[in-house]
Amino acid sequence: MKLKLLYQQMLGFFVVILTTVIVFGIAFIQFSNRMVYRDTWKQLEGYADSVFQQSVVVSTSGDFEGIQIAGLESSERLLANQSVHFTIYNKQNTIAYPKNSYSPAINSKQWEKLKKGEMITTRSDRHLNQVGGQRKHTTTDIIKPYRNQSGNLIAVISVGSPVANIESNMRRIQHNLLTAFLISGLAAIVIAYGLAKYSVSRIDRIRKAAHKIGEGNFDVKVQTKGNDEIDGLATDFNHMAKSLKESDEEIKRQEQ
């Protein structure tokens, strides 16, 4: 099935515009995903710093002495309301707080990085306390080391949040992007139709002028306003019409 030139050009413009929107949409989703995780890790790092300052007791020599339970209770209640959990490890990689919840052990490779002062971001499965018992959730965690002035490891604090919280934010972003995509798609159809209609109308002017020449009317001139291919075709057509007119006048003179 052959398509009219209008629909061919409209389809071409639409495909180009739609492809551009899709490429930018995918890039935006990936960028937003990285930004959401980065912002979450930054927020969790702030929680870790707050927990360390409020609850971890450090001796004058810079060693880990213990935990102030009173300071932890308020932090734990506040973070629990946001579905955020935390775990405190001493320098022997033993869980110092809380004692009664499941927390994944830090492996030796991670521990070596922590001893060097590197913060780690992970995804893990944890059993989180919820109403009605414990439930297993996939979480994203930051594991941050704390060292004394001598550079020796004092404690490590892991703070995590369910990935479902991040996925909820991503779903909102994707919903907004889908709405924008639909609007862009409709706009692309309108723009593609307008561009195709404009191009075809210029070709139609040349076609109508050609019909007039076929009927013997050589006083035809197609207006040109630019330097693109269609204007070039119109200029060539005008030259042809002028030549035909001159030939017609010459023939008429010879017949007289």
Output the CATH code of domain 15-171.
3.30.450.20
State pLDDT tens for residues 9-62: 777 777 887 888 888 888 888 888 888 888 889 999 998 998 888 887 777 766
Domain ranges of the chain: 15-171
State pLDDT tens for residues 162-221: 887 778 878 888 888 888 888 877 887 888 788 778 877 888 888 888 888 887 787 788
Task: List all residues 6 or more positions away from 178 whose beta carbon is below 8 Å from its beta carbon.
Answer: none
As a whole number of angstroms, the distance between CA 32 and CA 34 comes to 5
Task: List all residues 6 or more positions away from 79 whose beta carbon is below 8 Å from its beta carbon.
Answer: 47, 85, 86, 159
**pLDDT of res. 132:** 45
Q: Is the pTM of this model over 0.85?
A: no
Inform me whether the pLDDT recorded for 8 exceeds 80.
no
More confident site: 18 or 108:
108
Inform me whether the pLDDT recorded for 126 exceeds 70.
no
**Mean pLDDT on 209-236:** 79
**pLDDT of res. 256:** 66
Number of H helices, E strands in the chain: 5, 7
